[in-house]
Structure 1
Amino acid sequence: MHCFEGTRNQKQRSNRKIWAVDLFCGAGGLTHGLERAGIDVQLGIDIDPACEYPFSANNKAKFLLKPVEELTASDIERFFRKNGIRLLAGCAPCQTFSTYNQKATPDDKRWWLLRQFSRLVREICPELVTMENVPRLRGQGVFEEFIGALRDANYHVDIETVNCEDYGIPQHRQRLVLLASSLGPIRLISPSEFSTDRTTVRESIADLPPLKAGEVDETDPLHQAAILSDLNKKRIEASKPGGTWRDWRETLVADCHRKGTGKTYPSVYGRMCWDELAPTITTQFFGFGNGRFGHPAQDRAISLREGAILQSFPKDYAFVPPGNPIHRKSVGRLIGNAVPPKLGEAIGLSVLGHVARWDRDRRKTGSGAKADA
């Protein structure tokens, strides 16, 4: 096995530029990570108008509002430059495959998003392909179909299920990462090659100004906490970090928790622990009753900004134009659905190292030699 040449501390450069297009780009988490690694992302594409501002304001790439089923190869190919290596990223929305989705059926139209991605790969034939999604996608027929199409087209495919905390993201979050290359074997860099330490909730958000429920920080409108009802205020006051609703006195227990049958949801109405990881940041993380999203010390749910930081977004990442109203559900969706930028950076460094090896071997042999994994 060759020593990896694209770590965060030493980015091995290739003579060949890598140009990327990010399908289903969302708020720009993957693009931001790829750019941090040194990859030139030219375009992000999404169907959600709310994505345009955060994607464009924080990244160099252009934004295209268009449904994937209406995309043509020419829409994308004009953003790739000549004599470069082309990377097509396609992190299709994962709700269909998520453990939180109990209603998805085999005919759910969102299953077709991956097939549309496969269609564009087939029509464009980029040298590199990447996708991030939920682990449950693995083993699904539509995913096996996608992998089969890549291998039939002579791509080398690497699939990893990773723990995001191993890449410095301060939350429990498992993700599936696919890398594919027509240049040769490719792999995701290991956590040790990424060279970052695990990060706790305290290290991530303890320095933010304190808030009360319903307050908005004067200097950062995204650092705002949802209002609590009188009952939920009493509940969070009775909650301890790492505890559950079972710690409350009987008068605070919700009706659904009193039932002798059915789920008891011990993971809701809980506080985070300062010196541990956060739970998986979902699209509803700003609500105290939606999971273990209570602040470790303050009597409120975590703020939108705190959720973004726990997703590894920079503390100044802009999600809404200055002066515009912040719709909590919309911004929460953007943050919860995002590819954590640090994971995007690890993907980018993996791609850079792979292309550097391919370029080195090609120049050494004077031919189109394949890169080693």
Structure 2
Amino acid sequence: MGDEGRGTIGMKKQNGGVSCVDLFCGAGGLTHGFILEGLPVNAGIDLDPACRYPYEKNNGAVFIERDIARMESDEVAELFTSGTTRVLAGCAPCQPFSTYSQRYDTRSDGKWGLLYEFGRLARDIRPDIVTMENVPTVERHGVFKDFASELEGLGYQVWSDVVQCAQYGVPQRRRRMVLLASLHGPIRMIEPTHSKPRTVEQAIRRLPPVAAGERTPRDRLHVASSLTDKNLERIRASRPGGTWRDWPRHLVADCHKEDTGRTYPSVYGRMKWEEPAPTMTTQCYGYGNGRFGHPEQDRAITLREAAILQSFPRSYAFVEPRRSVQFSPIGRMIGNAVPVRLGRAIGRSILRHLSEVDSRSMNRRMVPGRRANAR
């Protein structure tokens, strides 16, 4: 049995005393990782209605289309199973914290406040464990420091650090900030699980070939965006790992001939088979949006390839059978997702912590008995 399914049924039986709620759940990357590790997830909350189908179809959890800023804490608390160890997880929208964002005004961008809303829910609900995932640059901002400080003030032991997703089996160079906090003692991320990163070749080489603007009949998501005649010339002139600087002069875009455009060599680039993919973005299906060209086929990667590079299972459904496949909403769900294998690593970290808590509790119960026998 492959890594995606190993031990799932047994772990579910062992950890029936845990329930999770996933804030800003998107299409379910974090939730799916938790479930594969045996952590039951009761519900996911997100504002994007397009996420409902993939979230519920692939995870068997309830999708709640709400703005958490407009939800009362009691409403979220009721989503947990009574009497269980409660895990509150989430990845607040990262655009305000991204290096691509040029504005850092908490008053003008409502998305900043979502991390404060996350903190409000943690303060009111007091779940046993809190976990948050976001872009690395979030740690530079006061809202993140406030979030961590508030948890510490509530009695949580907090760990946070930037992790490289490739070290946890994601076939992609993607650095993310992960925070773990527990009311029951020290908690931290497990050590990296992969000394050698998974490559683009290992992830997508076996998928059937497809031309630009076409899809395969058996998988509607294995569809590539179309290319203009000039972009078709450009990708044919591109080599894996190369840049637009390798092209004949007549193919170079005017913006790249200017000084301001010379520092963006990765756009219109091909991936390399033998390396992990670059970070998947919400527009990773577009050849001109980054190094998203297929290593050898003359096209950008397909939506399915992008999802696999985010470590979603190949069978993960993103759109209802009777609905058309649209690049923008599906690309947004894929690019914004927590990579499933990173979700598994976070879930495994929580399970290890709970096991350590159980062991400490058992040892405390056993010590008086051993002393009595000694007498």
TM-score range for the pair, normalised by the shorter chain length: over 0.9
Q: Which residue of 1 aligns with 2:361?
A: 362
Q: Distance in 2 between matches of 1:34 and 1:219?
A: 28
Q: 1:268 to 1:195 in 2, by over 3 A?
A: closer
* 1:180-212: CA deviation from partner (whole Å, max 9, x where unpaired): 000000011011xx4675210001001001011
Q: Which residue of 2 aligns with 1:146?
A: 147
Q: Distance in 1 between matches of 2:365 and 2:140?
A: 40
Q: Which residue of 2 aligns with 1:218?
A: 217
Q: Say if 1:14 and 1:359, in contact at 8 Å, map to a contact too.
A: no
Residue identity in the other structure for 1:339: V
Shift of 1:74: 2.0
Q: Which residue of 1 aligns with 2:167?
A: 166
Q: Which residue of 2 aligns with 1:56?
A: 56
SS across alignment from 2:140: coil
Shift of 1:260: 3.2
Shift of 1:98: 0.8
Larger helix fraction of residues: 2
Residue identity in the other structure for 1:132: E
Residue identity in the other structure for 2:89: A
Q: Distance in 2 between matches of 1:14 and 1:343?
A: 22
Q: 1:223 to 1:31 in 2, by over 3 A?
A: same
1:276 aligned to 2:275?
A: yes
Q: Which residue of 2 aligns with 1:110?
A: 111
SS across alignment from 2:44: strand
Q: 1:183 to 1:106 in 2, by over 3 A?
A: same
Superposed, 1:109-258 pairs within 5 Å as 109-191=110-192, 194=193, 197-258=196-257
Q: Say if 1:11 and 1:353, in contact at 8 Å, map to a contact too.
A: no
Residue identity in the other structure for 1:145: D
Q: 1:196 to 1:349 in 2, by over 3 A?
A: farther
Q: 1:281 to 1:63 in 2, by over 3 A?
A: same
Greater Cα shift, 73-82 or 19-28: 73-82
SS across alignment from 1:58: helix
Q: 1:333 to 1:300 in 2, by over 3 A?
A: same
Shift of 1:12: 11
Displaced runs of 4+ in structure 1, greater than 3 A? 7-16, 194-197, 260-264
SS across alignment from 1:339: coil
Q: Distance in 2 between matches of 1:13 and 1:177?
A: 27
Q: Identity of paired residues, percent?
A: 52
Q: Distance in 2 between matches of 1:67 and 1:106?
A: 18
Shift of 1:79: 2.1
Q: 1:262 to 1:294 in 2, by over 3 A?
A: closer
SS across alignment from 1:270: coil
Q: Distance in 2 between matches of 1:220 and 1:167?
A: 27
Q: Say if 1:256 and 1:264, in contact at 8 Å, map to a contact too.
A: no
* 1:77-136: CA deviation from partner (whole Å, max 9, x where unpaired): 222223210000021010111112224433221110000000000110001000000010
Q: Distance in 1 between matches of 2:305 and 2:277?
A: 11
Q: Which residue of 2 aligns with 1:23?
A: 23
Q: Distance in 1 between matches of 2:14 and 2:354?
A: 7
* 1:210-259: CA deviation from partner (whole Å, max 9, x where unpaired): 01100011000000000000000000000000000000001101000111
Q: Say if 1:14 and 1:355, in contact at 8 Å, map to a contact too.
A: no
Shift of 1:8: 7.7
Q: Distance in 1 between matches of 2:299 and 2:154?
A: 52
Q: Distance in 1 between matches of 2:127 and 2:99?
A: 32
Q: Say if 2:91 and 2:132, in contact at 8 Å, map to a contact too.
A: yes
Shift of 1:14: 6.2
Q: Which has the higher contact order (CA 8 A, sep 6+)?
A: 1
Q: Which residue of 2 aligns with 1:33?
A: 33
Q: Distance in 2 between matches of 1:289 and 1:44?
A: 33
Q: Distance in 2 between matches of 1:77 and 1:362?
A: 26
Q: Which residue of 2 aligns with 1:3?
A: none
Superposed, 1:286-297 pairs within 5 Å as 286-297=285-296
Q: Distance in 2 between matches of 1:57 and 1:102?
A: 37
Q: Distance in 2 between matches of 1:162 and 1:233?
A: 36
* 1:18-45: CA deviation from partner (whole Å, max 9, x where unpaired): 1000000000000000001110100000
Q: 1:195 to 1:288 in 2, by over 3 A?
A: closer
Shift of 1:263: 4.8
Q: Which residue of 2 aligns with 1:317?
A: 316
Q: Say if 1:29 and 1:339, in contact at 8 Å, map to a contact too.
A: yes
SS across alignment from 1:35: helix
Count, aligned residues: 359
Q: Distance in 2 between matches of 1:35 and 1:318?
A: 16
1:306 aligned to 2:305?
A: yes
Q: CA RMSD in A?
A: 1.9
Q: Say if 2:180 and 2:188, in contact at 8 Å, map to a contact too.
A: yes
Q: 1:353 to 1:61 in 2, by over 3 A?
A: same
Shift of 1:359: 1.4
Q: Say if 2:16 and 2:40, in contact at 8 Å, map to a contact too.
A: no
SS across alignment from 1:183: coil
Q: Which residue of 2 aligns with 1:370?
A: none
Please report the TM-score for the alignment, with normalisation by the length of structure 2.
0.92
Q: Distance in 2 between matches of 1:209 and 1:127?
A: 45
* 1:318-344: CA deviation from partner (whole Å, max 9, x where unpaired): 000012101100000000000001000
Please report the TM-score for the alignment, with normalisation by the length of structure 1.
0.93
Q: Distance in 1 between matches of 2:363 and 2:263?
A: 62
